[in-house]
Structure 1
Amino acid sequence: MIEVGALRALRAVAALGTLARAAEELGFTASAVSQQIKRLERQVGVPVLAPAGRGVVLTPAGQAIAGSAPEVFQALERCAEAARSVSAGAPRGTLRVVAFSTAIRGLLAPVVPRLASRCPQLRVELTEQDPDEALHSVGAGTADLALVHDADGLLPAPLPPSLVRRRVHTDVGDVVMSRAHPLARLDAPLDEAALAGHAWVTSPPGTVCHQWFRRLFAQARAEPDVRHLVDDFATQLSLVVAGQVVALIPRLARPPLGEDLIARPLRRPPKREVHAVWRRSAEASPAIRAVLAELGLAASPGEAISPADRPKRAIPTPS
């Protein structure tokens, strides 16, 4: 019979392309993963990997096995969740959550203490991952729950049938400035005309927030005056305090502004939707239900989730 560990190792190699990267994701040595693959080959009687340059590729037999792996993992997970549900549905054990950094700051960090108090037998482990990596981790079974965003307000990419997605938050960008800055005296939401001529600190090119920033000036005749490119939002705010520059900061990423800074809304603010993603086979998980319920109660700076969008006691249907 095929061992589950060997099957998981093959699937990781199929997704990542090398034994070393698969080993890193699974928390093993490359030698241990290689041994699992060899054990699998002995169990099925045919090779499942073939060398390809510096990496490896799956043989047709390996592809057939990897293609069937999700059904096996989902069946095993349903067995485990059925056992947990019988035990009064109490959240327990370890829940591995992956999320982008500002979701950890603005959504997860506030709920972890409440979870520890209400679910003392549940251990929540947080790991920072970009959305693409987080989706892979949940699909591969190395994480149980992910928080991802829709990458600049675009429609979210289709999920495989094995995953479920639920919107938990809408993140919005505001302009942050010193209270002594001229923009701080304006009460109305800021538009392109009001923003023209001011100096900025913004996130580097290639980031979602830089795309947000460029969109603010998409119709402007002149290039915006960008003085500083800084990835860390707390560092951006340290430059804003001096009063010479302003910054576009997502609300999830915004620490308390203190007395020296103020945030002003935009007339057409950039937005991104934040979704929770989990495996369909784990939808009976008391631990996932507990985290989703807490996320429904979480309020990030400047925006609370409406009651209609809060997860219910039962796992919601996928969006």
Structure 2
Amino acid sequence: MIDVAALRALRSVAALGTLARAADELGFTASAVSQQIKRLEREVGVPVLAPAGRGVVLTPAGQAVVDSAPEVFQALEHCAEAARSVADGAPRGTLRVVSFSTAVRGLLAPTVAELSARYPDLRLHISEQDPEQALHSVEAGTADLALIHDADGLPVALPPSMLQRHIHTDVGDVVHSRSHPLAAVERPLTGADLVGHAWVTSPPGTVCHQWFRRLFGNAPEDPDVRHLIDDFSTQLSLVASGDVIALIPRLARPPLREDLMSRVLRRAPKREIFAAWRRSAHASPAIQAVLRELGSVES
């Protein structure tokens, strides 16, 4: 019979390309992963990996094993969840959650205390991961639940083995000091209102920088970007100087000082946030409890 841990190791190696990366993901040494793969090869009777430069590639037999792996893991998880669901149905154990940073701050952190109070036998283990990596972790079985966002307005490409639920819409607002000239504008801000002001913004390659550039898509000249800062608390410190303004997602925004104002945009940038989990784990009382709690977080 094929060893489940060895099968999981092969799937990670196939996804990540090297024994070392798979070992990091699984929490083993590269030597331990190598031994698991060799054990799998003895069990199936044929090589499943071949060297390729500094990495490895699947043999045709290895690819066939990896292609069949999701059915094996789903069947095993169905068994476990069936056992839990016919018991008392109370969420218990450790639920491994992976999420991008602003969702940790704005969605997960506010739920932890309530979940602990309602379900004292449930423990959340939260790790920060970008959406693509988070989906891989859940699909590979190294995490149970992922919080992800759409890619610049494009729907999330979800593997067939996973389910998702929309849980939140994050919106970007402009923040400026109360002494800034924009404080005199008593309506939602437009793109025209923003022209000619100096900015602190997130670095290129981030979702917030994409939002920022879109605000000036039809502007006759490039915006005046004075600072590129990834940390939003630091951005707000610079905004408090009165020289610059910032575009900050609501989920990422710390409580504002009294000398700062948050302003709604007439055409505010948005991103949709989803929870994603394996189909085979859908009956998990722990997953369902966290989904219910996330659904109660105020926008």
SS of the residue corresponding to residue 253 of structure 1 reads coil
For 1:123 and 1:86, locate their aligned partners in 2 and report how far apart those are by CA, in whole Å: 21
1:21-71 CA deviation, whole Å, 9 max, x = no partner?
000000000000000000001111110000000000010010000100000
Q: How far off its partner does 1:160 sit?
A: 2.0
Q: How far off its partner does 1:93 sit?
A: 0.7
Aligned ranges 1:144-293 → 2 under 5 Å: 144-157=144-157, 159-293=158-292
Long gaps (5+) in structure 2: none
Q: How far off its partner does 1:179 sit?
A: 1.0
1:290-311 CA deviation, whole Å, 9 max, x = no partner?
0000001112xxx3xxxxxxxx
SS of the residue corresponding to residue 138 of structure 2 reads helix
Name the structure 2 match of 1:310: none
Name the structure 1 match of 2:45: 45
For 1:258 and 1:297, locate their aligned partners in 2 and report how far apart those are by CA, in whole Å: 26
For 1:291 and 1:57, locate their aligned partners in 2 and report how far apart those are by CA, in whole Å: 38
Give the % identical residues.
76
Amino acid at match of 1:260: D
Amino acid at match of 1:35: Q
SS of the residue corresponding to residue 22 of structure 2 reads helix
For 1:176 and 1:224, locate their aligned partners in 2 and report how far apart those are by CA, in whole Å: 16
For 2:162 and 2:233, locate their aligned partners in 1 and report how far apart those are by CA, in whole Å: 34
SS of the residue corresponding to residue 243 of structure 2 reads coil
Name the structure 2 match of 1:36: 36
For 1:69 and 1:154, locate their aligned partners in 2 and report how far apart those are by CA, in whole Å: 29
Amino acid at match of 1:273: E
Amino acid at match of 2:137: S
Q: How far off its partner does 1:86 sit?
A: 1.4
Q: How far off its partner does 1:154 sit?
A: 2.2
SS of the residue corresponding to residue 75 of structure 1 reads helix
For 1:154 and 1:34, locate their aligned partners in 2 and report how far apart those are by CA, in whole Å: 38
Q: How far off its partner does 1:222 sit?
A: 1.0
For 2:187 and 2:84, locate their aligned partners in 1 and report how far apart those are by CA, in whole Å: 53
- 1:117 correspondence with 2:117: yes
Aligned ranges 1:53-68 → 2 under 5 Å: 53-68=53-68
For 1:239 and 1:258, locate their aligned partners in 2 and report how far apart those are by CA, in whole Å: 12
SS of the residue corresponding to residue 66 of structure 2 reads helix
For 1:177 and 1:258, locate their aligned partners in 2 and report how far apart those are by CA, in whole Å: 11
Long gaps (5+) in structure 1: 304-319
For 1:18 and 1:24, locate their aligned partners in 2 and report how far apart those are by CA, in whole Å: 10
- 1:92 correspondence with 2:78: no
For 1:153 and 1:177, locate their aligned partners in 2 and report how far apart those are by CA, in whole Å: 26
1:181-221 CA deviation, whole Å, 9 max, x = no partner?
11122121111111111000000011110000000000000
Name the structure 2 match of 1:22: 22
Amino acid at match of 1:15: A
Q: How far off its partner does 1:161 sit?
A: 1.7
Q: How far off its partner does 1:155 sit?
A: 2.6
For 1:156 and 1:62, locate their aligned partners in 2 and report how far apart those are by CA, in whole Å: 28
For 1:160 and 1:295, locate their aligned partners in 2 and report how far apart those are by CA, in whole Å: 22
Name the structure 2 match of 1:307: none
Q: How far off its partner does 1:241 sit?
A: 0.5
Amino acid at match of 1:181: H
For 1:116 and 1:172, locate their aligned partners in 2 and report how far apart those are by CA, in whole Å: 28
What is the root-mean-square deviation in Å for CA atoms of aligned residues? 0.7
Q: How far off its partner does 1:258 sit?
A: 2.1
For 1:298 and 1:258, locate their aligned partners in 2 and report how far apart those are by CA, in whole Å: 23
Name the structure 2 match of 1:82: 82
Name the structure 2 match of 1:105: 105
SS of the residue corresponding to residue 251 of structure 2 reads helix
